[in-house]
Chain A
Amino acid sequence: AAGVIQSPRHLIKEKRETATLKCYPIPRHDTVYWYQQGPGQDPQFLISFYEKMQSDKGSIPDRFSAQQFSDYHSELNMSSLELGDSALYFCASSGGFDAGAQSSYEQYFGPGTRLTVT
């Protein structure tokens, strides 16, 4: 079965540079989530999109922005990179979000992008 695709898998940047991470959700999934996992830490939610609209926002720095495109893929843009941004960045997708529905929306995660800022 098709899984979530993330690119690139590894990225090395210098301080103050910019980086763009891409996520391609499972086909027919319309919701995308971004998580950050620092060394020795648990994954931390950054932001999510449903049907190309931002649906929720976590602890995402103002230097970061993201969007979901018409084909449902998403990009996380990171500017003015800092050493502390070095982390694994995971994207996950799910089949949809409806606040009024009592349904389950399990998230499926990609392999992650390892960002190293030097």
Chain B
Amino acid sequence: DAKTTQPPSMDCAEGRAANLPCNHSTISGNEYVYWYRQIHSQGPQYIIHGLKNNETNEMASLIITEDRKSSTLILPHATLRDTAVYYCIVPYYGQNFVFGPGTRLSVLP
């Protein structure tokens, strides 16, 4: 798996945008970037994924740099329920995901 690097923790004020960065400098041309989050002891929750283009869904936006060596997950209006550990994952095709260590996001009132 391509190695990913994320800051260990971030804080965000409720209602503001949360921007979570991820470096994946060894990513190859066919590898997708996936984002998941895990709220305490719950199953990891799929957020979004992308290959080259920026992506947006009802949960978040994913911005991938042109060289694909880094990406940013954007939660446009963070709520207290978005407090979780966020994982950026780059697996080889559909094979197993390697989690960790992720970014612990704390949304503050």
A residues adjacent to B (C-beta < 8 A)? 4, 31, 33, 35, 41-45, 48, 55-56, 58, 88, 90, 92, 94, 96-99, 101-112, 114
Contact = CB atoms under 8 A, between A and B. Distances in A.
Nearest to A104: B32
Contacts, number: 69
B41 A104 contact: no
A107 B95 CA distance: 10
A109 to B, nearest CB: 4
Contacts of B42: 111-112
Interface of B: 30, 32, 34, 38, 41-46, 49, 51, 85, 87, 93-102
Contacts of A109: 43-46
Given A90-B44, A109-B44, A109-B45, A45 B96 contact: yes
